Chains A and B, each alone.
Chain A
Amino acid sequence: MHELTVVQQIVKIADETVLKEQARKVLNITLEIGECSGIEMGAFDFAWPIAVRDSVLEYADLKVIRPKARAECQQCFSSFTKHQPYDPCPKCGSFIHHLYQGNELKIKSMNII
C-alpha cells in the first residue's frame, strides 16, 4: 500500500505550490503514472479520497495519464510495447531492453485559483 505514501507526497507538493503561488486551492491536477511505475491504480484510487481530505486537493479534478511501457531492444534495437515486464523482444526474443517510457511517476500540471 505504498500508493497512500505516493498520494500523501502529491498532497504535500500541491500544498507547497499553492502556498508559493499564493493561491487558495487546486481546481484540477494532471498526473503521469507509467504502466511500469509500480503503482497499482486500484490501490491509488482507494487512497486518493482519504489522503486529499481537508487539503488543497480535496475538490480537485484528477486526471491520470498512463504512458505505455515502451522499450528498445538492446540486441536488435527495435522498439516495442511491453505488455508484461517479462515480455521478450517480439523480433529477436532478447530480454535485454532499455525501458524509455512507462516509468513515469510525476505531477505534470495543476490548475490553481
Chain B
Amino acid sequence: MCATCGCSDQASDQVIHNHHSSRQREINLEKDILQENNLRAQRNRGYFEAKNIFAVNLVSSPGSGKTALLERTIALLDDVPLYVIEGDQQTTNDADRIKRTGAPVVQINTGNGCHLDAEMIHQALHQLEPVDHSLVFIENVGNLVCPALFDLGEAHRVVIMSVTEGEDKPLKYPNMFATSQLCLINKTDLLPYVDFDVERSKNYALQVNPSLKFIETSATDGTNLSKWCEWLNHHLRVPH
C-alpha cells in the first residue's frame, strides 16, 4: 500500500502519482516575499478609504516623543473622532497614557517582534471599530530599521526625529526617511542645550527623500503643534 495516500499497490501501478514522482523540476515563482503582508496592507487601505478614515503610521527611534506628541495632539483635536493603535515590544505603559486622554486605544505587544505588520493592524481595527471620517494613529515600535519594510495600509508615514538624536539619522537609517511623507523634528525646546543643526538634518533627509516635508515641533511647549494639526485636518478633509 502506498504510504502517502493509502492506495493499493495495484492502483499505484495504474494511476500517475505525482507525490511518488522523483522527478526533479524547476518552478519559476517570481514571487514577492512580503506579498502576504502587502496584500493585507492593501485590504486595510481599502477599509480606511471606504470609511474616509485617515490613517497615519508614526515611526521613529525609541524616545523621540511619539507618545507625548500624541497626547498633545489628541487634546488639540478634540472635535475629531480619533483612535490609537500602540505598538511596543512589552508593557501597556503607552496605551495607559493614551487611555487617560479619553481616546480609544489598543495596545499590541509584539513580544520579540521588532515591528508591527498589517495583520496586527487588521486585528486591532476589529477591536477599535473606528467610525467614518475619523483619524487612526498607529504608533509603531520605536525602531528606525524594521518597520520601514512593512506596509500597514496607512495613508501616510510620518517619521519623527528629535533634536537630542544625531542630525545624521536620515543618512544612517535611509529606508525609513525614504518611505515617509512627513518628518517631524521634535523637542525643539531643547535646541539651546544641544548641538543639533536643524537645517543640516533637513538637508540630510532631503538627500534620501527630496519630496519629504518637515514640521519642527515641541510636544513640551507646544511649538508648531497647530501646524501639525492643520496638516492632519487637511488630510482628513481631502480624500487621499
A contacts, CB < 8 Å to B:
1-2, 5-6, 9-10, 12-13, 17, 21-24, 27, 31, 36, 38, 85-86, 88, 95-96, 105-113
Contact = CB atoms under 8 A, between A and B. Distances in A.
Contacts, number: 93
Contacts of A9: 33-34, 36-37
B80 interface: no
Contact of A1 (B146, B150, B171): B146
Given A22-B18, A38-B175, A85-B178, A110 B29 contact: yes
B104 interface: no
B30 to A, nearest CB: 6
Given A95-B206, A95-B207, A96-B210, A110 B27 contact: yes
Given A2-B115, A111-B25, A85 B36 contact: no
Given A2-B115, A105-B34, A85 B24 contact: no
Contacts of A5: 113, 115, 117
Interface of B: 18-19, 21-34, 36-37, 113-115, 117, 145-146, 148-150, 170-171, 174-175, 178, 204, 206-208, 210
B29 A6 contact: no
B175 A113 contact: no
A85 B175 contact: yes
A86 B33 contact: no
Nearest to B147: A2
A13 B106 CA distance: 31
Given A86-B208, A95-B210, A10 B33 contact: yes
